[in-house]
Amino acid sequence: MKHYTLDEIKEKLQQNELPFSGMTELGSARFVFSEPAGYAGTAIHSGGRIRDNLKDKLQVSPEDRFREEDPGTERFIEELPIQIVALDSRFEYDVNRAEEKAIPVTPEMAWGLTVWNSPLTAEEIAISLAKYREFHQLMDLVSAYLVQQAGGKNGRGRAFIFDLHSYCYQREQRELWYENPKPVINLGTEAINEVVFRDLIDDFLQKLKVIRAEGRVITVAENEVFKGGYLARRLSALHHDTLAVFAIEFKKIFIDEWSGEFNLPVFEELLEQFGSAVADFMKDNL
């Protein structure tokens, strides 16, 4: 996969040299720009990679890492015209937290898990933070491009990022997903400008409520489990009147949290229906 500097990505977008895809220079993310569009998808916790020179210091188990990462979420955005997928594990650095909290150096920063068996050096931290900054600089480019495209195409200037995540619901005990009261889909909207986007938030919620799993009606909530993380807050602050970052959390009903085994029939039906919901939403709001 070809590596691009941020300047090269910016120039190709400005010159409208699409399609192109690749990886950032430092490897913090892979991306796809298949066609000009005012909307994109991100999967910022789907990656599980740890740098080789950090693996000897890694104490958290592969099983615990897998549970707290968001494997498979990149699949939910694979049909979108613009896709950004973070490649490194959130246990190395978490791009959905402010920089000073991005590297989990204490158990309190990692769901009670001890991540490192010895302190990271200043150089090791600096390398991780360089990748962290590269990712956010990429998202700055992407968000500005989306806003420009949305304004140019329909004059509304309303752009969208579908920010995909998943969350654990069986920490206390194993139980059937439909017997657990937490929502199957939670839409985090706290950072979104309600004056501009409230009607669009409601529209997207209604489209999500059509989704079914194993023949059952799913529960959809707004800001009940999560309200959106640092990425949503940061980009919404940059483009408060023109960009909505929908922070979407799927309950992990499509994966066994303990074994890591995917329930492929459920996963595939969620992928298909979520894709349809996004396509219908964009068709109505372009």
Domain positions in the chain are 3-285
> For domain 3-285, which architecture applies?
3-Layer(aba) Sandwich (3.40)
Please tell me whether residue 220 adopts helix, strand or coil conformation. strand
Alpha helices in the chain, H assignment, sequence order: 6-14, 62-68, 122-154, 194-208, 230-238, 264-285
Average pLDDT over residues 151-160: 70
Asked if residue 134 lies in contact with residue 88, where contact means CB atoms within 8 angstroms, the answer is no
How much is the pLDDT for 260? 87
Which has the closest alpha carbon to 27: 83, 93, 86? 86
More confident residue, 286 or 252: 252
Question: Measuring CA to CA, which residue among 39, 243, 35, 233 is closest to residue 157?
Answer: 243
Task: Identify the band that residue 286 occupies on the pLDDT scale cut at 50, 70 and 90.
Answer: confident
Three-class SS state of 117: coil
Per-residue pLDDT averaged across 181-197, rounded?
97
Task: Determine the pLDDT at residue 174.
Answer: 87
Query: Taking a C-beta distance cutoff of 8 angstroms, is the pair 2, 23 a contact?
Result: yes
When pLDDT is cut at 50, 70 and 90, the band that residue 154 belongs to is very low
d(CA 243, CA 261): 36
Phi and psi of 106, rounded to 5°? Answer: -130, 155
φ/ψ of residue 228, rounded to 5: 105, 145
Cβ atoms of residues 107 and 68 within 8 Å: no
pLDDT recorded at residue 258? 83
The pLDDT of residue 137 is 98
- C-alpha–C-alpha distance, residues 142 and 210, integer Å: 30
User: pLDDT of 115-139, one tens digit each?
Assistant: 999 999 999 999 999 999 999 999 9
Mean pLDDT score across all residues of the chain: 95
What does the pLDDT read at residue 156?
62
The confidence score (pLDDT) of residue 157 equals 72
Please write the tens of the pLDDT for every residue from 35-86.
Answer: 999 999 999 999 999 999 999 999 999 889 988 999 999 999 999 999 999 9
Instruction: Give me the residue label for tokens 């969620």.
Output: 270
Distances (CA, A) of 188 to 18, 85, 167, 231, 246: 31, 19, 13, 12, 6
Residue 37: DSSP 8-state: -
Would you call 19 exposed, middle or buried from its count of C-beta atoms within 10 A (0-12, 13-18, 19+)?
exposed
Better pLDDT: 11 or 153: 11
Convert the pLDDT of each residue in 37-50 to its tens digit. 999 999 999 999 99
- Cα distance between residue 90 and residue 246, in whole Å: 20
For 245-267, b/e burial (b = at least 16 CB within 10 A) is bbbbbbbbbbbebeeeeebeeeb
Lowest mean pLDDT among 12-16, 107-111, 192-196, 221-225: 107-111
pLDDT band at 229 (very low <50, low <70, confident <90, very high): very high
pLDDT tens for each residue of 264-281: 999 999 999 999 999 999
pLDDT level of residue 152 (50, 70, 90 thresholds): low
